[in-house]
Amino acid sequence: MFGRKKRRLDPLIRQLMEWVGETNVLYRREDLVAYECDGFTLKKGEARAVVFPADTREVAAVVRLLHRENVPFIARGAGTGLSGGATPLGGEVIISLVKMKKLLRVDLDNRIAVVQPGFVNLKLTQSIADRGYYYAPDPSSQYACTIGGNVAENAGGAHCLKYGVTTNHILGAEVVLPDGEVIRIGDEGIPDMPGYDLLGLLTGSEGTLGIVTEITVRILKAPQGKQTLLAYFDDVEEASRAVSDIISAGILPAALEMMDRTAIEAVESANFPVGHPLDIEALLLVEVDGIEAGLKSQVEDITELCRRRNVREVKTARDEKEAAAWWANRKTGFGAMGAISPDYLVQDGVIPRSTLPEVLGKIREISRDTGLRIANIFHAGDGNLHPLILFDERKPGEKERALEAGSRCLKVCAEVGGTITGEHGVGIEKREEMRFVFTKEEIAAQIRLRDVFNPGNLLNPGKGFPQPGRCAEVKQEIKERRMAEG
Amino acid sequence: MFGRKKRRLDPLIRQLMEWVGETNVLYRREDLVAYECDGFTLKKGEARAVVFPADTREVAAVVRLLHRENVPFIARGAGTGLSGGATPLGGEVIISLVKMKKLLRVDLDNRIAVVQPGFVNLKLTQSIADRGYYYAPDPSSQYACTIGGNVAENAGGAHCLKYGVTTNHILGAEVVLPDGEVIRIGDEGIPDMPGYDLLGLLTGSEGTLGIVTEITVRILKAPQGKQTLLAYFDDVEEASRAVSDIISAGILPAALEMMDRTAIEAVESANFPVGHPLDIEALLLVEVDGIEAGLKSQVEDITELCRRRNVREVKTARDEKEAAAWWANRKTGFGAMGAISPDYLVQDGVIPRSTLPEVLGKIREISRDTGLRIANIFHAGDGNLHPLILFDERKPGEKERALEAGSRCLKVCAEVGGTITGEHGVGIEKREEMRFVFTKEEIAAQIRLRDVFNPGNLLNPGKGFPQPGRCAEVKQEIKERRMAEG
């Protein structure tokens, strides 16, 4: 019986099973449903199979097989990405890296850690915290997202204002190229590597240039002290100006976050309320860190700058517990939208800090025009906006209007000299919006660059660029194959 | 008379003059001598001409002309590079960017400055210091080197330990591609740009991918306070271990430099002596910066860590003037070799910090084997070695032995898991040593990447990779042309 069932299997699935073991391949439609999108849920597709390799050798073997068979494939971590970078367009084999989740080495003398791609971001800090170290990039999904996924998307986070995004913390990687060749790039803490900066090129390439199977990251000594402040404003513009004032004054907070009224309504209605007043127009959440002795004067300076912008109230967290509660309230902010809206779409634009009041005004206009509420929770310090467009998918046309509103928000960002993504990536979500910031020639140059590593465009096709690449073909292929299989 | 002279001119020179003006083209052999090498003086070549464009339009016009005529060309800044990146191999037209030296814009609100490529590094800090800002990357040649050259070489400097190298401070650029097309890449302070990281790829590409004609850089608020320490050691290994101890203790100095006995002899014999004892084996020059209140405890901690490694003496600079004298003594260290040796070759390897004692021992062996003295002045904090090989070019065979010793030093770096350049680049100097750290396949992949932007390899041919590219051909061409011209 089992034998007969196997014989009916897609021969590719059988070959995949030979490499990674039978239990490490999913191929039934019901099993594939969980992989039809990532954290960007508005577009979905069906994979041909999902495989779970155990090590680099297995990844390379699977890739060689798929390359030889001309089958498109996608690397996937925890699937928390917000632009659809790990979403199948139809017919790809997903190479899930969640079984490759070891912390391989910690070397405090040289301040590095070596991890497998499926290792969860937050676990790294948890593993080294007792020795006084941490890993800086902290996407809000850090309790779940993997460092491999962070490399693919060049993930940011609240503390990237002071400490930089993922690319600033990656020192080396083992990479399986799209033809199955395994290379190592970068090294342990070299300021300027010889040759071109392939590691920088790979980081943030949204899974289109190679699959990382081992990553060397920089770890940092935890700062001696921290202070967390909350500032409540009756006016969004005043809050925005306070942000510029703080940075212009030469203070570089570890984090400088902003939420507007709608966002506050959501986070206070969800799982981690902390008692923010519901009648303010904006709040700033500010963290300063460093040598204990210097923190007090920074807190005083920030407080004073907020006062000059007519802040209603500024308070400092009494203790770590209170600060942690404020952060949990902030970091679960996107999900909190569920408390006030059936669906939401988060966007990710970047603007010069000084244009913040102007851009927030234009986002309010978009909200009025489309009749959709838009909440704003964002990394104000580095001008990285996250408009959250609230809608109800059940109401006809609302999803489309939400997508339209998101796109218009990005256009506003591009128009003031910013860009269309700060940390979430382009994925499938913002492919067309690439045209807001790049000319046809610039996009063509990028694609030529991709083709150096990924000439057949088998690895994560259709992502990152306006051209749908192989997607249409692939969709047709899977349809025909399914029909042939009956 | 003049007319006749002009008619005898190489027609290319005449066309170049049409674009940039007659006085902005050098072509006589005696004028070209100054351009036959850069700061790496051991290999020289003859350019066909040197042009001095005034703006982007002229650069693009010149490039289009050279591209059409299939003539190789090189962009050049101040010519302070140390690996021969701007050295002609024979027959290239040098596009000097020294006339494009304007500071175009300073925007303190968004903490950026926009400069032309010929703008001198140190001038940027000088222009904004009164407002409390500075530009972080500080190569020792910063009084002369240009920011355009810094981008090409991804220049480092003493303070890059804490603040990172050039690539960490470049936010955007206008670039003339090798076919004369002008593009803008990057933007003002975007954490993670959409698309591939072309700006990162360009930075440190040693002038092989494009010519930067405008650069947007990040400027930083000057730290509130600084303290500078000197620690004198009777033993090199103890000094090396003190370096590791300081970093492992979680202190991140702004700079952590080391000089050995031979280097101290040189700097004390040259133009900026400060009275270092001549009988010590090594000194550390350490700068900590940040909030005034925190500096004292850092100085105490560093002093204590040095004591545990049997330091002979640790002292703190009494005032800024004394600190500046110590820094001048250090920053002119390479040139100071002239006081104790007719010639010297500086190398630029990187090693994991923890291997410092082992590697310094191996460099001493190389010195014994080759019979050449080797001084070491280097960025100890990030393991970036600069062995200075002392020799006398007039003595037959010494130059060759010096080059051999330099290459062996790099091999040692590669063998302990480091690499062959930390900040000076590959240029023509370390082309063959690329093989120490890259496989043939990896080098081929890099060349494919170059070919995306520079398909004819007309822009700075023969640099950065083992393959001599067009050099041999080019040399033959110029020879034939000269013969034909009589």
What string of H, E and C letters represents the secondary structure of A229-270? EEEEECCHHHHHHHHHHHHHCCCCCCEEEEEEHHHHHHHHHC
The whole-number average pLDDT for the span B155-179 is 92
The count of C-alpha atoms lying within 13 angstroms of the C-alpha of A67, restricted to the half-sphere facing its C-beta, is: 18
Nearest to B194 among A189, A293, A420 (CB): A420
Mean pLDDT of chain A: 91
Mean pLDDT of chain B: 91
What pLDDT score does A468 carry? 43
Q: Which amino acid is at A285?
A: L
Contacts of A472 (CB under 8 A, 6+ apart): none
Strand partners, A389: A345, A374
Question: Scanning the structure block, which residue is given the tokens 């920053």?
Answer: B331
> Which tokens is B317 given?
């600079």
At residue B105, φ and ψ (nearest 5 deg) are -165, 140
The whole-number average pLDDT for the span B56-71 is 98
User: Does residue A141 have a pLDDT over 60?
Assistant: yes
Strand partners, B313: B232
B436, closest residue in chain A (CA to CA): A194
What pLDDT score does A184 carry? 86
**Closest-CA residue to A214 (of A116, A119, A303):** A116
The whole-number average pLDDT for the span A23-38 is 95
Percent of chain A with pLDDT over 90: 76
User: Does residue B474 have a pLDDT over 90?
Assistant: no
More reliable by pLDDT, A8 or A253: A253
Q: Which amino acid is at A261?
A: R
Give the model's confidence band at A187: pLDDT under 50 very low, under 70 low, under 90 confident, else very high: low
Please answer whether residues A118 and A99 qualify as being in contact, where contact means their C-beta atoms are separated by less than 8 angstroms.
Answer: yes
Pair type for strands A182-186 and A170-176 = antiparallel
What pLDDT score does A477 carry? 47
Which segment of A290-294, B295-299, B458-462 scores lowest on mean pLDDT? A290-294
Strand partners, B350: B384, B419
Which residues of B fall within a CB distance of 8 Å from A422?
A: 190-192
**Closest-CA residue to A44 (of A29, A33, A55):** A33
Nearest to A422 among B181, B191, B448 (CB): B191
Residue pLDDT, tens place only, A110-134:
889 999 999 999 999 999 999 999 9
Please answer whether residues A430 and A85 qualify as being in contact, where contact means their C-beta atoms are separated by less than 8 angstroms.
Answer: no
Check for a shared fold between A223-340 and A343-375+383-437: yes
User: Does residue A2 have a pLDDT over 60?
Assistant: no
Phi-psi region of B250 (alpha: psi -120 to 50; beta: other; left: phi over 0): left
What pLDDT score does A215 carry? 97
More reliable by pLDDT, B187 or A404: A404
Do residue B187 and residue A426 have CB atoms under 8 angstroms apart? no
Q: How far is A396 from chain B (nearest CA, A)?
A: 32
Q: What is the largest CA-CA distance in chain B?
A: 78
Please answer whether residues B127 and B204 qualify as being in contact, where contact means their C-beta atoms are separated by less than 8 angstroms.
Answer: no
Do residue A196 and residue B204 have CB atoms under 8 angstroms apart? yes
Contacts of B61 (CB under 8 A, 6+ apart): B19, B53, B180
Q: Return the C-alpha torsion angle B2, B5, B11, B17, nearest 10.
A: -40
Nearest to B183 among A110, A194, A442 (CB): A442
DSSP A24: G
Q: How far is A4 from chain B (nearest CA, A)?
A: 44
d(CA A386, CA A379): 8
Do residue A160 and residue B191 have CB atoms under 8 angstroms apart? yes
**Closest-CA residue to B216 (of B129, B105, B121, B139):** B105
> Buried b / exposed e across A356-381, counting CB within 10 Å, b at 16+?
bbebbebbeebbeebebbbbbbbbbb
Which residues of B fall within a CB distance of 8 Å from A299?
A: none
For helices A236-248 and A356-370, give the axis angle rounded to 10 degrees. Answer: 150
Residue pLDDT, tens place only, A365-389:
999 999 999 999 999 998 999 999 9
Residue pLDDT, tens place only, A217-251:
999 989 989 999 999 999 999 999 999 899 888 88
Q: Which amino acid is at B245?
A: D
d(CA A149, CA A383): 23
Nearest to A434 among B183, B188, B195 (CB): B195
In the CATH hierarchy, which fold is given to the domain comprising B2-96? 3.30.43
Which residues of A fall within a CB distance of 8 Å from B250?
A: 132, 221
From the candidate CATH numbers 1.10.10.2160, 3.20.20.140, 3.40.462.10, 3.30.230.30, the one assigned to the domain spanning B225-415: 3.40.462.10
Give the model's confidence band at B258: pLDDT under 50 very low, under 70 low, under 90 confident, else very high: very high
Q: What is the largest CA-CA distance in chain A?
A: 78
- For chains A and B, CB pairs below 8 A equal 225
d(CA A118, CA A131): 23
Question: Scanning the structure block, which residue is given the tokens 């966007």?
Answer: A347
More reliable by pLDDT, A51 or B244: A51
More reliable by pLDDT, B466 or A133: A133
User: Does residue B468 have a pLDDT over 50?
Assistant: no
Do residue A292 and residue B294 have CB atoms under 8 angstroms apart? yes
What pLDDT score does B189 carry? 56
3-class SS of residue A415:
helix
The CATH-assigned architecture of domain A223-340 is 2-Layer Sandwich (3.30)
The whole-number average pLDDT for the span B327-339 is 94
In the CATH hierarchy, which fold is given to the domain comprising A343-375+383-437? Alpha-Beta Plaits (3.30.70)
**Closest-CA residue to B52 (of B2, B5, B8, B117):** B117
List Cα–Cα distances, B178 to A275, B59, B210, in angstroms: 59, 11, 6
Which residues of B fall within a CB distance of 8 Å from A110?
A: 352-354
B289, closest residue in chain A (CA to CA): A291
Is the ipTM higher than 0.85? The answer is no
d(CA B345, CA B367): 13
d(CA B189, CA A247): 13
**Closest-CA residue to A70 (of A6, A9, A12, A10):** A12
Which residues of B fall within a CB distance of 8 Å from A248?
A: 108-109
At residue A460, φ and ψ (nearest 5 deg) are 50, 60
Strand partners, A92: none
What pLDDT score does A33 carry? 94
Residue pLDDT, tens place only, B224-236:
899 999 999 999 9
Please answer whether residues A199 and B203 qualify as being in contact, where contact means their C-beta atoms are separated by less than 8 angstroms.
Answer: no
- Domain extent listing, chain A: 2-96, 223-340, 343-375+383-437
| Angle (CA) B111 B174 A162, round 5° | 30
List Cα–Cα distances, A101 to A174, A188, A220, B321, in angstroms: 15, 20, 21, 53
Give the model's confidence band at B386: pLDDT under 50 very low, under 70 low, under 90 confident, else very high: very high
Which residues of A fall within a CB distance of 8 Å from B438?
A: 194-195
Q: How far is A407 from chain B (nearest CA, A)?
A: 15
Give the model's confidence band at B161: pLDDT under 50 very low, under 70 low, under 90 confident, else very high: confident
DSSP A483: H
Nearest to B352 among A189, A438, A465 (CB): A189
The count of C-alpha atoms lying within 13 angstroms of the C-alpha of A447, restricted to the half-sphere facing its C-beta, is: 20
Give the model's confidence band at A472: pLDDT under 50 very low, under 70 low, under 90 confident, else very high: very low
Nearest to A192 among B198, B423, B438 (CB): B423
From the candidate CATH numbers 3.30.465.10, 3.40.50.2300, 3.40.470.10, 3.90.1150.10, the one assigned to the domain spanning B103-221: 3.30.465.10
Do residue A421 and residue B189 have CB atoms under 8 angstroms apart? no
> Buried b / exposed e across A433-445, counting CB within 10 Å, b at 16+?
bbebbbeeebbeb
d(CA B82, CA B384): 15
User: Does residue B400 have a pLDDT over 90?
Assistant: yes
d(CA A52, CA A33): 16
Residue pLDDT, tens place only, A341-369:
999 999 999 998 889 989 999 999 999 99
Residue pLDDT, tens place only, B274-307:
999 999 999 999 999 988 888 999 999 999 999 9
d(CA A29, CA A25): 12
CA quadruple B245, B246, B251, B255: dihedral positive or negative? Answer: negative
**Closest-CA residue to A105 (of A130, A128, A122, A121):** A128
The whole-number average pLDDT for the span B160-186 is 91
Contacts of A180 (CB under 8 A, 6+ apart): A60, A61, A63, A64, A65, A67
3-class SS of residue B244:
helix
Overall residue count recorded for chain A in this entry: 486
At residue A373, φ and ψ (nearest 5 deg) are -70, 145
User: Does residue B382 have a pLDDT over 90?
Assistant: no
The whole-number average pLDDT for the span A80-97 is 96
Give the model's confidence band at B341: pLDDT under 50 very low, under 70 low, under 90 confident, else very high: very high
Q: How far is B17 from chain A (nearest CA, A)?
A: 30
Nearest to B160 among A167, A191, A449 (CB): A191
List Cα–Cα distances, A51 to A117, B2, B127, in angstroms: 15, 77, 57
For testing contact with chain A, the best of B114, B168, B196 (most A CBs within 10 A): B196
**Closest-CA residue to B298 (of A289, A109, A223, A291):** A291
Which residues of B fall within a CB distance of 8 Å from A185?
A: 442
Which segment of B94-98, B191-195, B413-417 scores lowest on mean pLDDT? B191-195
The count of C-alpha atoms lying within 13 angstroms of the C-alpha of B101, restricted to the half-sphere facing its C-beta, is: 17
Please answer whether residues A454 and A73 qualify as being in contact, where contact means their C-beta atoms are separated by less than 8 angstroms.
Answer: no
